[in-house]
Amino acid sequence: MLEALQTPGSTDWFVNDRFGLFIHWGLYSLGARHEWLKSREKMDDETYQKYFKYFDPDLYDPKLWASAASGAGMKYFVVTTKHHEGFCLWDSDLTDYKSTNTPCGKDLLTPMVDAFRAEDMRVGFYHSLIDWHHPQYVIDNCNHPQRDLIPNKSGEVDGMIAQAGGDTAAKSSAADGDPNQGRDQAKYAAYLHGQVRELLTRYDPVDVLWFDFSFIRDELLRNDFSQGKGREAWNSEVLYPMIRELAPHIVLNDRLDLPSGGGWDVKTPEQAQPRSWVHVDHEGAKVPVVWEACQTFSGSWGYHRDENTWRSTRQLLTTLIDPVSKGGNLLLNVGPTGRGEFDSRALDRLAGMGEWMKRHSRSIYGCTQAPAEFACPQDCRLTYNPDTKRLYLHILAWPYKHLHLDGKVWSDRVEYAQLLNDASEVQLGMDHWHAKQIQGEGDILTLTLPQTEPLGVEIPVVELMLK
Ligand code: GLC
């Protein structure tokens, strides 16, 4: 059994619970065309101000959100306290750019935290390191809405520029002076630290802290914040010990640009499913780490009215099972509307996932990658609960009556098998007449399945009890 690298945060609950809800909610919900719209459309503060002026989520009821998430089988949530636009969902003492000053007039975070805690869910905060509104934040030529004003000193191109939809040619300096004049990134970093302190003390205990994100394009230009931003821009080396002091057990993600083996607890691959358990280089070896995939229902994190690439419930369940079979978690995102509701498509998928989880959560909670000797058959995903010593075979494509498990270990170790949805026995072995017709028998254990897959079960699971 693989064991993940030990880090300071308490990740035991995290790797047990496996499934969380990500919430991206802010002023961009009104634009309803991606949470990066300010950057993509290169809007200035004045143009973006209309969203602040009209932000009024009158239908917001966090109890409904929490119950939809808990009903889906989610055990924790991570909400954008502030996204890159800089707008804050709580009543921060350090800014006026917050929900209490919009027509909604309310602190939106406190009732959310209360509602999710009432559903027994753990509390996580996504907090943007990037801030496209703060007056001290140095304008960069990577993803900032005003990036066209900043010359490119390295000439390199990376994904962040592409994501922002920026042009890649070197830009000329603003004719009328330096747009960064009067901006002091250190003052912004102090603001960032102050807000983190506020969040960790006011909402103590916070279980997860999820920063987003660092972007260094050229190592030689680390200290030029107009060219990229990493630990120097956030003053991460000071921020990190402060977090550990205020919340020693918090589960912290990996985007502060601090080195491996210190400075984070969880790796967070985004919008891509890793092919195997996520590893890092540590003391000269590749070691597995605690990790969490984050994914959306469709192609945007913030509410996107016209985005139609929604995944089906079945696809989303695969998106959950797959990381667990590789020792990881899933943080699945919803972008509530500007009126404060979950999109009906999100509610539909959450309900569908909950229907499956009601009977199959045993193959998710407390589970991890199966020991290597149990080779996973084609079109399946295997998870394993080390406490109960049960294996879970998730069948993604229903086979023709027989499912063959290769290797002697299967017949040596499996004592009993059943379908998880109804605890109906799955017989071990196959009859002689069938056996003599299949090729390459070798050491196999054959499961004799019903001819057709169980009705109404999105992804059938066989539970295998080991001796
Ligand atoms: C990104 C995007 C962002 C989203 C996040 C979630 O880095 O900037 O909008 O919040 O990923 O992982």
- What's the alpha-carbon Rg for the chain, to the nearest Å? 24
pLDDT number for residue 158:
52
- By most ligand atoms within 8 Å of CB, the mutation choice from 255, 301, 331 for ligand 1 is 301
Q: How far is the CA of 212 from the centre of ligand 1 (A)?
A: 7
Quote the CA–CA distance of 293 and 277 in Å, as a whole number.
11
CA torsion, points 160, 166, 169, 170, in degrees to nearest 10? -80
CA atoms within 13 A on the CB side of 395: 24
**32: number of Cβ within 10 Å:** 17
Mutate to test the pocket of ligand 1, among 35, 132, 254, 270 (most ligand atoms within 8 A of CB): 270
Consecutive 10-residue averages of pLDDT for the chain (467 residues): 88 98 98 98 98 98 98 98 98 98 98 98 98 98 97 66 46 64 98 98 98 95 97 97 98 90 88 92 91 96 96 98 98 98 97 98 98 96 98 96 93 97 94 70 87 96 97
* CATH fold of the domain at 370-466: Immunoglobulin-like (2.60.40)
Q: Ligand 1 centroid vs 311 CA: distance in angstroms? A: 19
- Say how many Å lie between the CA of residue 448 and the centre of ligand 1: 45
pLDDT of the residue at 260? 59
| The pLDDT value given to residue 261 | 58
User: How many angstroms is it from 338 CA to the middle of ligand 1?
Assistant: 19
User: Which atom belonging to ligand 1 lies closest to the Cα atom of 83?
Assistant: 10
Place of tokens 């550990």: 244
Q: Report the atom number in ligand 1 closest to the C-alpha of 271.
A: 12
Judge if the upstream peptide bond of residue 297 is cis by omega within 30 degrees of 0: no
What is the residue extent of each domain of the chain?
A: 12-363, 370-466
Q: How far, in Å, CA of 146 to CA of 40, rounded?
A: 10
Task: Provide the 8-state DSSP code for 185.
Answer: H
Alpha helices in 32-184 (DSSP H): 37-40, 45-54, 62-71, 109-118, 159-164
Strand partners, 382: 393
Whether 12-363 and 370-466 share one fold: the answer is no
Written as one letter, the residue type at 190 is A
Name the closest-CA residue to atom 3, ligand 1: 301
**In the chain, what's the furthest Cα-to-Cα distance?**
86
Ligand 1 site, CB within 6 A: 24, 35-36, 212-213, 270, 294, 301
**Which of 3.40.50.10140, 3.20.10.10, 3.20.20.80, 3.40.50.12780 is the CATH number of 12-363?**
3.20.20.80
Q: Which two tokens stand for residue 203?
A: 């909402």
Question: Using CA atoms, how far apart are residues 144 and 182, in angstroms rounded to an integer?
Answer: 17
Among protein residues, the one with the nearest Cα to ligand 1's atom 5 is 212
